[in-house]
Chain A
C-alpha cells in the first residue's frame, strides 16, 4: 500500500509491467479543454486503460485498480472493473473490506465506495454482519451524520439483520448529541421496522416517555418534537388525547425560554380539537409582554401572533397558519 506520493515508483519502471503498453487518454482530435493531468495520475490511468481494454483480470490488475482508486476514488469505471477482477480471482473479500475502510477513513462521502462495499457484503453474507456493523460505527463515530454511512447501515440491518442492539446504539448517539437528527431518524427506523420490537404502536408509550425527556432537556431541538408527532402517525386523535403531549408543551412554555416548538405543537393540538384549560391560556398569555397589543382571546390565534414575532424568519408561515384557523363564533 503505497499512497505516499513521494515514494511512488513509476509503473513504467516496474518489472511486472514491462509487457504492457500504456494507453493514453483520447481527448478527441480537437479537444476543447485539453486537461493537463498530474504525471503520476496520468500514468496510472494510461496503464489502467490498457488492462481494462485487454480485460486482464489478474493480481497485478487488482493492484493497479487500487492505485487508481486511491488517486481518484470517484471514477466508477475503475471500481466496476475492480469488482470483475475480484470475482475472477475469487479474492479474499474480508481483505477488501479492510481496503474499503482505509478509503472511508479519508473519503467517507464517496458514492462509489459505498456501492462497492454493499457489493462485497452481499457476497460475504450474514457472516460479515457483526464486523460490518462495527466498521460502520467506526465511520459514524467520526461523522455521526454521514448520510452514506447511515444508508448503508440501514441496508445491512434489512439485508442481514443485527437489529438487537440498534436501539441501544441510537440511545448512545443521542446521549452524545441529542440534536443528532440522523440518530433520531435511525431510532424511528428501528422502532417502526425492527422485527423484534412489535412495531410503532407497541413502542409508543415508552418512546413518548423517552422523547418527552429529550424535549425537556433541550426544548429548542426540532428533532424530538417531530419524532413525537411521528409516534402518532395517522392517529392524530391519540396525540391530542395523550396528556403527555399537552403537558410537555405546558412545561416548556412555563420556562419562558426556547418555547417556539412547544407553541407550534400546542397549535397543532388546538387545531385538532384539544380543549385547553385555563392553565394553558395563562401560560401562553405570560409569553406576550406587549402592553400596546392585547393578546387575542382565541388561543390558537394568539399563538400564531406570538410566533410571527418571536420566529420572524418564518413570519409568512405563521401568518398562513393564522389565516387557516376556523373563525371563532
Chain B
C-alpha cells in the first residue's frame, strides 16, 4: 500500500486556485465558494493552511456577501442556502434552498449546520425540521431527499448529521442503517452510495461520517478502504479522483483526505463528522478554545 502524497496534493490544490481558462473555471464559476471550502479544508487537514494568504481569502469571501446577509458562490451572484442561511423553513418543517423554493433534506442539513455554528438554532422550528427529516426515512433505515425518495449515502449524511447536531439521533434505527451503510463496501474495498452502483471516493466521506455518528464504523473493513483511497491518488501530479485511473479534482481530493482523517490516518488533523470541518475549528467555535 502506498502512502498519502501530502506535498503533491498541497501543490495540486494551490495550482487549481491559480489555473485560468479551464473548463472548471467556467462551470464552477457560480460555486467558487465551494471550491474554496474544499481546498482550504483539505489544506488544513494536511496541516498546510499557512501556505495560503489568509487576508486575501477573507476579503474575497466578504466581497461575496449580499445585502440580505447571505453569501453568494462568487462575486456578483445571488445568495443560495448551499452558501448561506436565512429564514427558508417551510410549513412542514422542510427547508428550501433559496427564496425560489427547491426542497431537499440537503437544505435541512445546511440550515441546521450553519445556524448551529452561528448559535442561532432558535431561529427555526427545530422539532418540525427533525420531523421532516424523519419522514424521509426508508425501509432500509436510510434517508432520501424527500419522503419516499431512495436512500442515498450523501442524503443519509445530511439527515444523520442534522439529527446529530440537534440531539435527535434517537430517531435513527442505528443497527439497520449501520448494516445498510456497511453493505456499501464492495470487494475492491471502496464504498458506493447506493446498491449496485460504482464505488467512488466521495462516499468514503458520506458513508464513513454517518457510520461514525451512529457509532458503527467498526462494522466495515477500514484497512481495505484506506487502500482503495490511496489507490485513487495521482502520485505524480497530486490530487485524488473518484476511482482509480480517473482524472483528479478538488472535490474528490477533499473527500478523500477527509475520509482518511476519519480513519485516523497518521499525520492528518481530525475532522468532525457532523460539521465537516476540523475538530479544532469546531472546538474554537463552540468552546472558544
- Spell out A's residues near B (CB within 8 Å): 25-28, 30-38, 41, 49, 71-72, 74-77, 80, 83, 111, 115, 145, 147, 150-151, 154-155, 179-182, 185-186, 188-189, 193, 222-223, 226-227, 229-230, 233, 312-317, 320
Contacts and interface: CB of A to CB of B under 8 A. Distances in A.
Given A25-B76, A314-B182, A317-B179, A147 B25 contact: no
A314 B21 contact: no
B30 interface: yes
B219 A151 contact: no
Contacts of B21: 36-38
A186 B148 CA distance: 8
A38 B140 CA distance: 46
Interface stretch (B40-48, B164-172, B194-202, B264-272): B194-202
Contacts of A145: 194, 197
A216 B249 CA distance: 42
Given A77-B78, A181-B195, A230-B139, A28 B60 contact: yes
11 contacts: A30-B56, A41-B26, A76-B30, A181-B194, A185-B148, A185-B149, A188-B139, A223-B195, A313-B189, A314-B185, A316-B221
Interface residues on B, range: 35 or more
Contacts of A147: 145, 149-150, 152
Interface of B: 17-18, 20-21, 25-27, 29-32, 53, 56-57, 59-60, 63, 75-78, 80, 98, 100-102, 138-140, 144-146, 148-152, 178-180, 182-183, 185-187, 189, 194-197, 216, 218-221, 224
A313 B75 contact: no
A302 to B, nearest CB: 19
B219 A314 contact: yes
Of A41, A193, A316, most buried by chain B (CB within 10 Å of CB) is A316
A28 B75 contact: yes
Contact of A315 (B18, B148, B221): B221
A313 B17 contact: no
B148 A317 contact: no
Contacts of B189: 313
Given A186-B150, A188-B139, A233-B139, 20 more contacts: A32-B53, A32-B60, A36-B21, A37-B21, A37-B25, A37-B29, A38-B26, A72-B26, A74-B31, A77-B30, A83-B100, A115-B102, A145-B197, A147-B149, A147-B152, A182-B150, A230-B139, A314-B183, A316-B221, A317-B178
Nearest to A29: B63
A151 B180 CA distance: 21
A186 B185 CA distance: 24
B19 to A, nearest CB: 9
A35 B27 contact: no
B60 A33 contact: yes
Given A32-B57, A37-B26, A147-B150, A179 B182 contact: no
A189 B179 CA distance: 22
A77 B139 CA distance: 37
B157 to A, nearest CB: 14
A131 B27 CA distance: 31
A151 B197 CA distance: 18
Given A76-B100, A316-B219, A33 B30 contact: no
A181 B180 CA distance: 13
Contacts of B182: 313-314, 316-317
